[in-house]
């Protein structure tokens, strides 16, 4: 599993575009940006390795929930 820490909307927007192009979708969420652990979101695609995103940014947290 690939782990990526994202703390700015610019970083998220670039990564979100790549995830979308490659057909990844969110599979599960854990914690939140306000937690010490941050928000953890796992993105997956059948037959491919999952990608785990971690953020402590409230803006990134809100935007991730809108991912399509």
Domain count, the chain: 1
Q: In Å, how far are 28, 59, 62 from 39, measured between CA atoms?
A: 11, 12, 10
What's the burial of 60, exposed, middle or buried (CB within 10 Å: 0-12/13-18/19+)? buried
Write out the residue range of the structural domain in which residue 51 sits.
Answer: 2-64
| Res. 68: pLDDT tops 90 | no
**From CA 34, how far away is CA 56, in angstroms rounded?**
7
Query: What pLDDT, in 10s, does the model give residues 8-66?
Result: 999 999 999 999 999 999 999 999 999 999 999 999 999 999 999 999 999 999 999 99
> What CATH number should be reported for the domain holding residue 47?
3.30.720
């Amino acid at each position: 599993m690939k782990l990526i820490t994202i703390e700015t909307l610019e970083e998220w927007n670039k990564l979100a575009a790549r995830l979308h192009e490659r057909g990844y979708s969110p599979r599960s969420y854990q914690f939140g940006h306000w937690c010490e652990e941050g928000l953890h979101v796992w993105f997956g695609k059948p037959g491919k390795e999952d990608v785990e995103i971690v953020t402590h940014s409230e803006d990134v947290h809100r935007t991730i929930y809108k991912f399509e």
